Every structure is written in C-alpha cells, then in structure tokens.
C-alpha cells in the first residue's frame, strides 16, 4: 500500500464513520438515561429518506436535514411513549420502529417518486457540499501535515465536522452539566432521582428526543453526504453497527469515537479490497464485514474487559405510591 | 398492569391481540388512503388473492409454514422470558444444514432425506443459538444484542461459504448447486392428488406444513406436559422463585435457546428444501423477524402461533397480489407487521387499559 492509498482509505474511513458516530452517540445518550434503543437503524433509515426526499423537492439540503431530524424525533417519541409512558418492552418497541421505517419509507417513496422505492438522484445544492478547511490548499504539499490535513481532514460535508464536535459536546453534557449528572443517575438509579424531586419521565423523554435529533443527522448525512439520494434499506445494518460501537465503547463518548473510527476503517478496507493479506493469511471480505459484530460479542462476553450497561436500562420506572 | 384493573384471562388472550390487529389494520388503511388508494378495494384484493383459489391458499400456507417455525422459536424463548431476535441467523444456518445433508449424502427416497435434513437444520440452528445462550447463561451477555450480532455474522458466514465453497465452478451466482431430484419433497398438490382432491400445482406448499403442525403439538406437549416445560415456564414467571425451587437458570437458558434455535433452523426445510431446492444468499427473507410478530400476537401459545402464522401468510400472499395489481408496494406488509409488533408487544398496556376499564364498568353494574 502506498501513501496515496492509505490517505484515500483513511479519508473514506472518516466519511463512513460519521453516520455511525451520530447514531452511536444517540444510542449512548438514550441508554445512559435507562432507555434501551435498538431502533437506531429505523430512525436513521426514515431520516435518510426524509432528507433525500425533501432536499430533492426543495433543492436545499439543509431543509432536507431539518425534515430528517423532524421525522427521526417523531419516531423517537413513539419509542418514548411506548417505553416510558406505557412502560412497554423497550426492545420490542425498537424492533417495531425498525420495521415501521423499513416499510413506510418504501411505500411513501414509491408514492411520491415512482422509482421503485428510491428518491431521484440529488445534485447541486440538494447535496451536502464539501467544505475546504482554511489553508488546506496551501498546506497541501507540506510533508506529513499535508496528507493528513488536506487529504484526510479537509473536504468533507459540514455534518462530518458537526459529528466530531458532538463528541466533546456529549462528554461535556454528560460529565460537566447538571442535566448530564441527572441523566446518568436516571439510568443507574431512577428512584434516587425521583426522591430528589426531579422528574424521571421528563429526563428520559429529554434523552430520547436528543437521541432522535442525532439519529436524524446520521440518516441525513447518509443520503445527502455519503451518497446522493435514498435507496431502499440503505442503512444496511449501520444502526446495529452503531449499537455495537456503543457497547464496544462501554457507553463513553470519547471511546465511541475510537470505536466508530475502527468500524469505519473496517468498512473502508472491505470496500476497497476484496481480500486482505495479513502476514500471509488471506482475510476474506466477509470476515471484515463480520468483524465489528464479532468484536462486540467478545467484549460483551467479558473476555477482554467486560461491558456493563447502565443498571436501570431496559426497565420502565414505576413510582411508589 | 396492576393499576389498570384486572382482565379475565380469556379476554387477555383473545381481545387484546384482536384489538391490536384491528388497530394495526386501521392505521394501515389510513396509510393506503393517504397514498390515494382505496383501503376497502385493497382488502378485497388481498382476501381474494390469498383465499380465493387453491393457488392463493397454497402460497398462504407456504408462507404460514415458515412463520409457524420462526413463531414457535420466538414463543418458546419468550416463555422463559428470553428475547431471541436471532431467528433470522439461526434459520440461515439451518439452511446450510439442509444444503449439506441434501448435497453430500445420496438419498434413496425423499422421506429419509426429509428426516435427515430436518435433523441437520435443527442441529445447525440450535448450534447457532447455543453461543448466545451460553454467553447469556454463563457470562451475562445480553441475549438480544448477541443474537442481533449473530444474525449479521451468520449472513457473512453464509456469504463466504456460498461464494468460496458451495458455488459450482464457473457459476457467477452465489448459490449452491441444485439438490438431487430424490430430495424433492411432495407438494400439497401431489399429496392431495392421491386422495383425489384437485389443488393448484404452482404454489410450493409441501409436506413441511405437516411437520410445522406437528411441531405446534410438540411444543405444546413440551411446555405444558413435561418437567422441562414446567421449569421453563416457572423460570419465565420468576427467575428468583425458580432458582429457589432448585431450577438452574443457566441450564434452562441454554436448553431454551437450543430448542428455539432448532425450531428456527427447521424453517429451512420448508424454504430451502421445499421451495428453492438449492441454498441462496437470502433464503430466509425476513421470516425470522416475522416470527417475533407471530409469537407476540399468538401470546406465545402454539395455537396462537398457528393462527397468527396463517394471518401473516395471508398478509404475505395478499400483499404480493396487491403489489401486482395496484401501485401499493409489498412493503406495506412490513408496515402492518411493524404496527402489530408495536401494539401487541410494546403498547399492549395502551390496548389493555380501555379493555380493563370496560370490564370494570361491567362489574360495577
């Protein structure tokens, strides 16, 4: 592998990791508040469709992004109503959200555009434009810094940088604000939060809504930045890879960034090479695709550092009378 | 539930799922209306397409056979309060078991091939469920997450096996060779022809339907007539109580996952051996996930699973007809499926509260 190939692979790693990063942080915030969410995939898919459809109709990608966030938040609130208000099974609700999105996006896409469940291709202002970072051109030929700054970091859609910014923001919110402290507490011991006079239900709805916003951005980047339009089932399991990354990172924001970059790199490598030689051992492309899931199972099994979810996760809070 | 009053048991197992389905259908009708089609015409087309001819019945029952297997798989696990979301992967591996049995052993007669293929399917499916089961039992890894991960790992594994091992030389298609003709399972057309009943020869519904019905009885017998079944249900009702009574949670978890995975794997006998006659990449086509809806609607009871599987078989066949004759795509069925899962599985308290109020009113009078 020469330098140019490595730069290209890392550049696409960053792009492929961005939807994973948004979805991973979304799941992290929701689960830190005690609401399990396996519906990340569905929210991303619905958002991807909405972003592409509205961007195409309006000709402006940012109106599309806003619509994507809107639809994703609505779906997050359905999950909230089912799992917080009606104390239903959070996992089953997540499964339902995934199917709802998988079905309804195709039904509506077919009805609106009649192209077999896809949106027309986006071009011009309906796509997310690449942004050149300041001095990227000037630093282009500087050794080491040039390839990293100009080749890898510069020239992405705005949401890539927003995603990277969300990592410290999430960290700050969780560990340095009162809201974050309460949010973490509500995922570990909701009764204590309730005793302190803070609304468990309000906090959990807040977390679920933030989760919706982030999933909306994940889906919007997928259909307007990473590709140019929506196709049926385009998330292709990314919501679950994000879930895997969240567990891999043990529900911590900075580690989440590391996990999604690793999984993004695996995807970038699988896209570029059919087989990879590692010390004379040919690794088939399928192994690369399965690796994020295998790593997550290994981490879950606790053979290499155990992943322990928030203690009150998955169960609704019932107030004592 | 305690706050919303009590519902008689018969109402809980009939009215709650019925109301949920009606709600799901009403919302779907609104969707059909919103995209400019007539819900009533759509329903008529679906009923005629699924039940109006032996051709329609044949496809309805073929799909239902798949859903009985995957529905039972989810239901058995739910009885022990384990959510096996991995039916899809277990059925994929079951398909691999069927393919190996059919391709590499020369069978003199289909009946022997059926028995061996069923064992192969169940064994491979069970093996794929064993690892998540073991990890849940011994290491406390959440079974929902591990079974989801195993679905994806199964898809990659099958892709590798099909492309690099089973694919015939010179073929571009990632699929196994065709199974020998001796492994062809009798279709319902052939079986009914023996007793002189005419039935369409087109649909792939086959003798696996009887295997599926047999499995309904077997699961009922296991759960309500055996010691293990009692332990499974006791464990599902209350883990601490079961443990206090001397039931080992780890043992029950592993047994339940083996049974559940085996049932999901058996689906491949119908779809891989009964229909495609070769192993392809997407042999399961989401049937593993429909098992979740079927089990929830059927209240985790074999009789309920059977009825719910017929309903989903109707939706699948009717949905195919709908896609053929109108501009409504097949994915409408996925929406209905999602709504059924939402109302029966996650929003069941919302459905239950008005029913409980109605009963409380009646009692008050």
Query: What 3 state SS string does B278-339 have?
Result: CCCCCCCCCHHHHHHHHHHHCCCCHHHHHHHHHHHHHHHHHHHHHHHHCCCCCCHHHHHHHH
How far is B201 from chain A, CA to nearest CA, in Å?
Answer: 31
- Positions in chain B whose pLDDT score sits under 50: 1-4
How far is A149 from chain B, CA to nearest CA, in Å?
Answer: 35
Q: Provide DSSP, A16-79.
A: HHHHHHHHHHHHHHHHHTT-----HHHHHHHHHHHHHHHHHHHS-HHHHHHHHHHHHHHHHHHH
For each of the domains in chain A, give its residue range(s) and CATH number, in order of start: 3-301 (1.10.3470)
* CA A20 – CA B342 distance, rounded (Å): 26
> How many residues are listed for chain A in this entry?
321
Query: What is the percent of chain B with per-residue pLDDT over 70, rounded to a whole number?
Result: 99
Interface subset of B 303-322, CB within 8 angstroms of A: none
- DSSP letter (8 states) at residue A129: P
Q: What is the pLDDT of residue A317?
A: 85
Between A78, A110, A284, which is nearest B164 by CB?
A: A284
B341 vs A: CB within 8 A: yes
Residue of A nearest to B36 (CA): A111
Between B146, B329, B333, which is nearest A297 by CB?
A: B146
- Taking alpha carbons only, the member of A267, A273, A222, A201 closest to residue A105 is A222
How far is A233 from chain B, CA to nearest CA, in Å?
Answer: 11
* CA A14 – CA A7 distance, rounded (Å): 11
Q: Which residues of A touch B160 (CB under 8 A)?
A: 284, 286-287
Radius of gyration of chain B (CA): 21
Taking each helix axis from N to C end, the angle separating B332-341 and B9-34, rounded to the nearest 10 degrees, works out to 150
Q: What is the pLDDT of residue A77?
A: 97
- Taking alpha carbons only, the member of A11, A20, A19 closest to residue A272 is A11
Residue of B nearest to A295 (CA): B149
* CA B153 – CA A268 distance, rounded (Å): 18
Answer whether A96 sits within 8 Å of B156, measured CB to CB: no
> How many residues are listed for chain B in this entry?
365
Between A96, A108, A302, which is nearest B341 by CB?
A: A96
Q: What is the pLDDT of residue B3?
A: 43
Q: What is the pLDDT of residue A300?
A: 81
Between B135, B148, B331, which is nearest A107 by CB?
A: B331
Q: Is the pTM of this model over 0.80?
A: yes
Answer whether A99 sits within 8 Å of B334, measured CB to CB: yes
Q: How many CB atoms lie within 10 A of CB A250?
A: 16
How far is A168 from chain B, CA to nearest CA, in Å?
Answer: 27
Interface subset of B 48-107, CB within 8 angstroms of A: 83, 85
Q: Which residues of A touch B164 (CB under 8 A)?
A: 284
Mutate to test the interface with B, among A99, A231, A287 (most CBs of B within 10 A): A99
* Alpha carbon A284 to its chain's center: 26
How far is A35 from chain B, CA to nearest CA, in Å?
Answer: 13
* CA A182 – CA A206 distance, rounded (Å): 11
* Alpha carbon B22 to its chain's center: 21
* CA A178 – CA B79 distance, rounded (Å): 42
Q: Which tens digits make up the pLDDT trace of B89-128?
A: 999 999 999 999 999 999 999 999 999 999 999 999 999 9
Q: What is the pLDDT of residue B1?
A: 41
Q: What is the pLDDT of residue B82?
A: 93
Q: Which residues of B touch A105 (CB under 8 A)?
A: 331
How far is B357 from chain A, CA to nearest CA, in Å?
Answer: 16
- Positions in chain A whose pLDDT score sits under 70: 1, 274-281, 304-306, 321
Q: Which residues of A touch B152 (CB under 8 A)?
A: 237, 240, 289-290, 293
Interface subset of B 144-163, CB within 8 angstroms of A: 144-146, 148-150, 152-153, 156-157, 159-160, 163
Query: What is the percent of chain B with per-residue pLDDT over 90, rounded to a whole number?
Result: 71
* CA A165 – CA A252 distance, rounded (Å): 15
- DSSP letter (8 states) at residue B206: B
Q: Which residues of A touch B346 (CB under 8 A)?
A: 82-83, 86, 88-90, 92-93, 96
B21 vs A: CB within 8 A: no
B130 vs A: CB within 8 A: no
Contact indicator for A70, A103 with CB cutoff of 8 Å = no
Q: What is the pLDDT of residue A101?
A: 96
Q: What is the pLDDT of residue A76?
A: 97
Cα A76-A82-A83 angle, rounded to 5 deg:
85
How far is A321 from chain B, CA to nearest CA, in Å?
Answer: 11
Answer whether A92 sits within 8 Å of B296, measured CB to CB: yes
Provide the Cα torsion B204, B205, B211, B214; round to 10°.
170
Between A78, A103, A244, which is nearest B149 by CB?
A: A244
Answer whether A100 sits within 8 Å of B335, measured CB to CB: yes
Tokens of B118: 């069923």
How far is B194 from chain A, CA to nearest CA, in Å?
Answer: 42
Residue of A nearest to B147 (CA): A297
Mutate to test the interface with A, among B288, B338, B355 (most CBs of A within 10 A): B338
Answer whether B338 sits within 8 Å of A102, measured CB to CB: yes
Q: Which residues of B touch A104 (CB under 8 A)?
A: 31, 331, 335, 338
Cα B145-B147-B151 angle, rounded to 5 deg:
115
Residue spans of beta strands (DSSP E) within A211-315: 275-278, 281-284
Q: Please, what's the largest Cα pairwise distance for chain A?
A: 69
Q: What is the pLDDT of residue A284?
A: 83
Instruction: Provide the residue ranges of all domains of chain B, joining segments of one domain with +.
Output: 58-311
Residues whose CB is less than 8 angstroms from the CB of residue B62 and which lie 6 or more positions away in sequence, other chains included: B203, B204, B205, B206, B209, B270, B274, B275, B313
How far is A272 from chain B, CA to nearest CA, in Å?
Answer: 17
Contact indicator for A245, A294 with CB cutoff of 8 Å = no
Answer whether A293 sits within 8 Å of B149, measured CB to CB: yes
Between A117, A286, A300, which is nearest B329 by CB?
A: A117
For domain B58-311, which architecture applies? Orthogonal Bundle (1.10)
């Amino acid at each position: 592998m020469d330098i140019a190939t490595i730069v290209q692979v890392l550049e696409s790693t960053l792009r492929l990791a961005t939807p994973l990063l948004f979805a991973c942080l979304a799941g992290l915030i929701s689960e830190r508040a005690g609401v399990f969410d396996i519906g990340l995939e569905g929210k991303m898919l619905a958002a991807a469709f909405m972003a592409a459809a509205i961007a195409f109709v309006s000709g402006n990608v940012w109106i599309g992004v806003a619509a994507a966030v809107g639809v994703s938040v609505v779906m997050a609130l359905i999950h909230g109503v089912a799992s917080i208000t009606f104390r239903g099974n959070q996992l089953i609700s997540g499964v339902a959200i995934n199917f709802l999105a998988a079905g309804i996006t195709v039904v509506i896409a077919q009805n609106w555009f009649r192209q077999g469940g896809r949106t027309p291709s986006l071009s011009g202002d309906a796509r997310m434009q690449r942004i050149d970072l300041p001095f990227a051109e000037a630093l282009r030929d500087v050794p080491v810094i040039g390839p990293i700054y100009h080749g890898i970091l510069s020239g992405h859609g705005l949401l890539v940088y927003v995603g990277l910014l969300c990592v410290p923001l999430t960290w700050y919110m969780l560990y340095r604000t009162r809201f974050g402290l309460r949010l973490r507490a509500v995922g570990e011991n909701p009764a204590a939060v309730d005793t302190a006079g803070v609304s468990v239900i309000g906090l959990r709805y807040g977390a679920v809504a933030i989760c919706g916003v982030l999933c909306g951005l994940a889906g919007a980047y997928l259909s307007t930045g990473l590709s140019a339009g929506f196709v049926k089932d385009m998330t292709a399991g990314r919501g679950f890879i994000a879930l895997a990354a969240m567990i891999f990172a043990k529900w911590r924001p900075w580690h989440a960034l590391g996990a999604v970059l690793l999984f993004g790199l695996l995807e970038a490598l699988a896209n570029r090479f059919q087989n990879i030689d590692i010390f004379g051992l040919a690794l088939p492309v399928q192994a690369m695709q399965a690796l994020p899931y295998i790593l997550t199972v290994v981490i879950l099994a606790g053979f290499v550092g155990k992943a322990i979810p928030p203690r009150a996760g998955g169960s609704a809070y019932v107030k004592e009378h | 539930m305690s706050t919303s009053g009590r519902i008689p048991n018969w109402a809980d197992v009939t009215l709650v799922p019925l109301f949920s389905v009606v709600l799901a259908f009403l919302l779907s009708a609104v969707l059909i209306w919103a995209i400019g089609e007539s819900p009533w015409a759509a329903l008529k087309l679906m009923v005629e397409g699924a039940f109006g001819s032996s051709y329609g019945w044949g496809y309805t029952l073929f799909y239902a056979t798949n859903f009985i297997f995957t529905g039972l798989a989810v239901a058995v696990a739910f009885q022990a309060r384990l959510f096996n979301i991995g039916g899809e992967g277990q059925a994929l591996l079951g398909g691999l078991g069927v393919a190996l049995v059919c391709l590499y052993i020369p069978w003199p007669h289909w009946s022997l091939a059926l028995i061996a293929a069923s064992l192969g399917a169940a064994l491979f499916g069970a093996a794929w469920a064993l690892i998540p089961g073991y990890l849940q039992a011994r290491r406390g890894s959440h079974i929902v997450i591990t079974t989801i991960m195993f679905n994806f790992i199964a898809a990659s594994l099958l892709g590798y096996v099909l492309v690099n091992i089973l694919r015939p030389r010179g073929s571009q298609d990632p699929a196994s060779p065709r199974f020998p003709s001796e492994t062809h399972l009798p279709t319902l057309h052939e079986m009914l022809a023996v007793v002189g009943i005419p039935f369409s020869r087109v649909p792939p519904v086959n003798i696996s339907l009887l295997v599926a019905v047999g499995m309904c009885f077997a699961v009922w017998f296991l759960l309500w007539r055996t010691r293990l079944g009692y332990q499974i249900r006791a464990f599902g009702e209350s883990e601490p109580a079961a443990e206090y009574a001397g039931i080992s949670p780890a043992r029950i978890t592993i047994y339940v996952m083996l049974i559940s995975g085996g049932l999901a794997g058996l689906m491949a006998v119908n779809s891989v051996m009964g229909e495609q006659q070769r192993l392809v990449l997407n042999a399961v086509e989401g049937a593993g996930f429909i098992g979740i809806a079927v089990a929830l609607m059927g209240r985790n009871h074999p009789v309920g699973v059977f009825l719910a599987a017929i309903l989903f078989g109707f939706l699948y066949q009717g949905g195919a007809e709908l896609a053929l004759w109108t501009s409504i795509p097949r994915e409408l069925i996925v929406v209905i499926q999602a709504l059924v899962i939402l109302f029966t599985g996650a929003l069941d308290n919302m459905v239950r509260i008005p029913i409980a109020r109605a009963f409380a009113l009646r009692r008050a009078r």
